[in-house]
Amino acid sequence: MVDLHAHLPQLPNAGLGAGLDLLTWLDRYIFPLERRFDDAEDAARLAPAAFRTFAAAGTTTILAYGAVYKASTDGAFRAAEAHGIRAILGKVMMDRVTYDETIEPSTILERSLRESEELIATWHGADAGRLGYAVTPRFAISCSADMLRESAALAARTGAWWQTHVSEDPGEIAEVARLFPDARDYVDVYDRAGGLGSRTILAHAIHLSDRELARLVETDTRVAHCPSSNLFLASGIMPLARYREAGLGVGLGSDVAGGPDPSIFSVMQVGAYAQAALRTVGGDGRSVLAPLDWLRLGTYDGARALGLEDRIGSIEVGKEADLIAVDPRLTAARRDLPYDAGAIEAADVMSRLIFRAHPDMVRGAWVRGRRLEGPASS
């Protein structure tokens, strides 16, 4: 399973703040938590537990944000190195609205770029490519045009990924329009910065215009679809069928803690309900995805979004054996009902794993054949 979007330091507040708008939720529940994730000790305390949590949910590859601090991001990489999960991480970059009062504002841009570059030198491609770096400007509201442009240039120069958020919430979109009056729309802000392309993962992308969608497809930019976060914060429902029809590269993200649950199975469930709502209430007549389509979104399509589909994302000869084992008996309506796995079609097994997901159903997770700590052992 590939989680294309999560925030490591936010995990302790998973499930808090349902229904708040994005900017209020950030101020109340998220920035105070990220501000405390500032040194190696904090990372040593939180990151190993976070990676065990993701592995227990069945995630074997994670693309995640740290906080703005180099020391805690470095610590998170150390934890991922030891744990064994496949991880692409990045130190958050913010120079417009930031929660780090220790940095002189006029030096934030230069310092954030330098620290990101130092982390890239240490971690990008480490352990034969199991660990990687994503240059991580938070989003357009908290980054100047200079920060966006310089961060995109750094990613291009070093071969790192570039990740940020786009078009999540109407209030956010209006604020971006106010801050970047020359840009045609939200996607254009990143386009002008040189941020679009096949090494870029944009989270959310809920409210795209036809022009924005076409531009993302044209530049081969990838999107992390985070339906549980989008409904938890009442941001909106992504028109996934329209995007897929247009040829947009999409995978799934938990967006913990915007999303309340680190499980990609749970993300699939909320995504499926959301798409059904779009069809029945929203008037979108396109067909909804079947259970095996959701499985593909959470595995192979996620790997493809990262350009890693030659190594992970499916079970094939020559790939690196990132696997999970699940016990589908736990998804039955009652534990004492007879369960004959051999008599059930794959699509039906997957349907139950999505719609009757059980917190203990992942019994093992492996990356490159090495067993990860986290899943309850059988």
3 binds Zn ion (CB under 5 A): no
How far apart CA 261 and CA 170 sit, in angstroms, is: 24
* C-beta closer to Zn ion: residue 70 or 138: 138
* C-beta closer to Zn ion: residue 17 or 328: 17
Side chain identity at residue 52, one-letter code: R
* C-beta closer to Zn ion: residue 63 or 152: 63
* C-beta closer to Zn ion: residue 169 or 255: 255
Side chain identity at residue 291, one-letter code: P
How far apart CA 191 and CA 200 sit, in angstroms, is: 11
Number of residues that bind Zn ion (CB under 5 A): 2
Residue nearest to Zn ion (CB): 255
Minimum CB separation of residue 325 from Zn ion in Å reads 29
Stretch in the footprint of Zn ion (CB under 5 A) among 144-152, 181-189, 196-204, 238-246: 196-204
172 binds Zn ion (CB under 5 A): no
255 binds Zn ion (CB under 5 A): yes
| DSSP H or E run through 71 | helix 70-83
How far apart CA 91 and CA 94 sit, in angstroms, is: 10
Q: Restricting to residues 268-297, which ones interact with Zn ion according to CB under 5 A?
A: none
How far apart CA 66 and CA 56 sit, in angstroms, is: 20
DSSP 8-state assignment for residue 288: P
Stretch in the footprint of Zn ion (CB under 5 A) among 50-58, 195-203, 209-217, 303-311: 195-203
User: Which two tokens mark 28?
Assistant: 């109340």
How far apart CA 184 and CA 179 sit, in angstroms, is: 12
* C-beta closer to Zn ion: residue 206 or 350: 206
168 binds Zn ion (CB under 5 A): no
Angle at which helix 108-123 crosses helix 145-158, to 10 degrees, equals 20
* C-beta closer to Zn ion: residue 267 or 372: 267
Q: If you count them, how many residues does the chain have?
A: 378
Minimum CB separation of residue 90 from Zn ion in Å reads 12
Stretch in the footprint of Zn ion (CB under 5 A) among 16-24, 50-58, 252-260, 364-372: 252-260
* Cα 246 to chain centroid, rounded: 22
Which positions lie near Zn ion, rule CB under 5 A?
203, 255
